[in-house]
Amino acid sequence: MFEQSNGILSPYDVYAYPVILTLLVTSVCMLLIRNRPKLHRAAEYLAFGGLAIYIVIGLQYFILRPDANSIYAVANTLQWMPILYIAGFAFFPKWQAIIGCAAVFLLSSVTPLGVLLFGRDPGWDLHVGALLVNGYASHLLVLLCMSMMVALRTQISKVSEHARLMENAAYTDDLTGTANRRGMERVLQERGNQLMRPVALLLFDIDHFKLVNDRFGHRIGDEVLASIAQLIKSQLRPGDTIYRWGGEEFLVVASGTGFEAARSLAERVRHIVSASVHPVAGTATVSVGVSTCSGGESLEVALQLADEALYLAKEQGRNRVSTR
């Protein structure tokens, strides 16, 4: 070891180094055990706590028992403290990191501050005293800067999360939890109004929904809307999307779905809706317009065809599926 060969290894480090190395090796071994998050957290606390204790006790020892190598020992210890701060902020939650690092800083400065405040001759030379003053001042600045960076990062995360929630709210229907028409318009804008692969469009309309609102009130009408939206979603695949298209209309975009599969899906949903019973409003039915198109075609044209098919289903008596 460099310090030992040059005669600057302190008696404290003779005993402290083996203990610290043992703690660090133990912590690394604990971290290497897979799928044990609690053990990993314990390893981080063990490493941080061990180094913190070594630094705090070491500084007290070097300050209270100054010798010819004190300036090296103090400087060597002070230079490693910011690494401990960085590790604390990197591995621990914000407040744990701030409290832990602040505790290390305050505990390590207790002895020199006490000596200066109570007027005891510390036995330091000018270089050691200047080193301590500058070291603690720089450490305080490091801690303040890191705390401000963490606080700023937290605020940025909150703003980003708020922006994400606001964006989601803008494209989501609050009542049914489905995407809304604005969400579909965003898809149109992103795709340049072109379908990149074959899709089927299924446009659902709740039959005579106005009568439900008129007879039972809007609260029951909202419950019927939300219930039917959930029934439709229950029949969709992971890649399919449902949008609340209008007051009582829902649009389903089923990717990679041909004519027969789209019609089968529409009939399946129609049967499930007609079989369900609301405790107040009773049964409800839906009319469905279905259109299919291949990749590269205009989505607006496909929507127009689905709307025409829905109109035809209503003209033919409702509670049925019509295709275009």
Catalytic (active-site) positions: 248
DSSP 197: S
Beta-carbon contacts of 131 under 8 Å, excluding residues fewer than 6 positions away, are: 71, 74, 75, 78
Reading the block at residue 320, the tokens are 């049925």
β-bridge mates for residue 288, sequence order: 204, 321
Q: If you count them, how many residues does the chain have?
A: 324
Q: How many Å apart are CA 77 and CA 74, to the nearest integer?
A: 5
Closest by CA position to 143, among listed 191, 62, 89: 89
172 - beta bridge partners?
179
Distance between CA atoms of residues 145 and 101, nearest Å: 13
Tokens of 272: 């499930």
Q: How many CA atoms lie within 13 A of 140 on its CB side?
A: 10
Give the N- to C-terminal CA distance of the chain in Å, as an integer. Answer: 85
The Cα–Cα gap between 172 and 179 comes to 4
The residue ranges of DSSP E strands in 94-230, in sequence order, are 179-180, 199-206
User: CA torsion sign, 72 to 134 to 111 to 97?
Assistant: negative
Q: 277 is written with which tokens? A: 């019973």
Phi, psi of 201 (to 5 degrees): -110, 125
**Amino acid code (one letter) for 259:** F
